[in-house]
Amino acid sequence: MLYLVGLGLGEVTDVTVRGLEVIKKASRVYLEAYTSILAGVNVQELEKFYERPVIPADRELVEEHADEILNGADTADVAFLVVGDPLGATTHSDLIIRANERGIPYRLIHNASIMNAIGASGLQLYNFGETVSIPYWTDSWRPDSFIDKIEENLLRGLHTLCLLDIKVKELSIDALMKGKREYEPARYMTVDIAADQLLAAIEKRKDNLKCLNADRLCVGVARVGSTNQMIAVDTLRSINGWSLGEPLHSLVIIGRTHPLEDKMLKIVANATKK
């Protein structure tokens, strides 16, 4: 059996009791280590808590050598650990599809992901529209289609969860051009970088935007679910003056609020001061 085990968001102890049982009994345990991170927790700490070895699985292993992960999973249990919920990222569907092709059954052990834990912001989950991803811009690549989706959500009064880019073990283009296989240092987009990119995209497209502008109220969150989480409530223009510290960060563009949401936003804003 292939077990895809969600680790939740904050601490090592955010694994479920059922997930921990699976991890302890599995013949091999992999940790997916490139689409997310547990705030401030490294592989050694996980190994200590689980009392067993954990194999870090980078993008190369999961996408190009998935068979290595699946080997033996037809007769024994293999656990594949994912920060958040196991099906948050497309890549893991791919692993299930490969397992299925080899006749290997799978089971999901669910956990919190940012897609539902964002409720910590005080905003109601059923008032969110489509989620968007904000990628790191480069000098020559500045996609901004997320603007259309945020605007469409706002037109319907809905909040938008913006997932911020993560670059872990990305091949260096410069090195590749020199014929070498080297990796860029890991980068995690912060709320202020996301706000900068959003403000630049809004400035460029402002003539066609009815709702989205620099004065729109936002919620910036950092390390949701951990004991040192931070939540900032401010306008898009001002939120890039906040420093929310270590990754991971996410940003919500707020739509129409319910009075209960307004009260909750005040409470969470008071808990995090500039």
Binding status of residue 211 toward its own copies by CB under 8 A: no
Under 8 Å CB-to-CB from 257, ≥6 apart: which residues?
123, 127, 265
Q: Which residues contact 266 (CB under 8 A, 6 or more apart)?
A: none
Closest distance between its own copies and the C-beta of residue 26, in Å? Answer: 16
CA distances from 182 to 172, 207, 267 (A): 6, 43, 46
Contact between 32 and its own copies per CB under 8 A: no
Q: Is 249 annotated as a binding residue?
A: yes
Which listed residue (3, 6, 104, 212) binds its own copies by CB under 8 A? 6
Task: Check: CB of residue 97 under 8 Å from CB of residue 70.
Answer: no
Enter the tokens of residue 173. 């283009």
- Label residue 23 exposed, middle or buried (CB < 10 Å: 0-12, 13-18, 19+): buried
Dihedral sign for Cα 206, 211, 212, 215, please.
positive
Q: Which stretch binds its own copies (CB under 8 A): 33-41, 89-97, 164-172, 204-212?
A: 89-97
Between residue 117 and residue 176, which ones bind its own copies under the rule CB under 8 A?
Answer: 117, 119-120, 122, 124-133, 152, 156, 158, 163
CA atoms of 163 and 160, how far apart (whole Å) = 10
d(CA 104, CA 13): 29
Are residues 221 and 118 in contact, defined by beta-carbon separation less than 8 angstroms? yes
Binding mask 97-116 vs its own copies (x if CB under 8 A, - otherwise)? x--x-------x-xxxx-xx
Q: According to the annotation, is 224 in a ligand binding site?
A: yes
113 marked ligand binding residue: yes
Residues in 247-266 that interact with its own copies by CB under 8 A: 258, 260-261, 263-264
Query: Binders of its own copies: how many residues, by CB under 8 A?
Result: 56
Asked whether the beta carbons of 160 and 153 are under 8 A apart, the reply is: yes
Q: Are 230 and 223 within 8 A, CB to CB?
A: yes
Q: Within 223-242, which residues bind its own copies (CB under 8 A)?
A: 224-225
Span near its own copies by CB under 8 A; candidates 57-65, 96-104, 187-195, 212-220: 96-104
Query: By CB under 8 A, what part of segment 174-193 binds its own copies?
Result: none
Is 191:249 a contact under the CB 8 Å cutoff?
A: yes
Residue of the chain from 16, 172, 213, 238 that contacts its own copies (CB under 8 A): 16
Task: Report CA-CA distances (Å) from 56 to 42, 154, 233.
Answer: 10, 40, 36
Asked if 88 touches its own copies (CB under 8 A), the answer is yes
State the residues that interact with its own copies by CB under 8 A: 6, 8-11, 13-18, 20-21, 85-88, 90, 93-94, 96-97, 100, 108, 110-113, 115-117, 119-120, 122, 124-133, 152, 156, 158, 163, 224-225, 258, 260-261, 263-264, 267
Q: Which residues are annotated as a binding site?
A: 9, 85, 88, 113-114, 164, 224, 249
Q: Which residues are annotated as a binding site for S-adenosyl-L-methionine?
A: 9, 85, 88, 113-114, 164, 224, 249
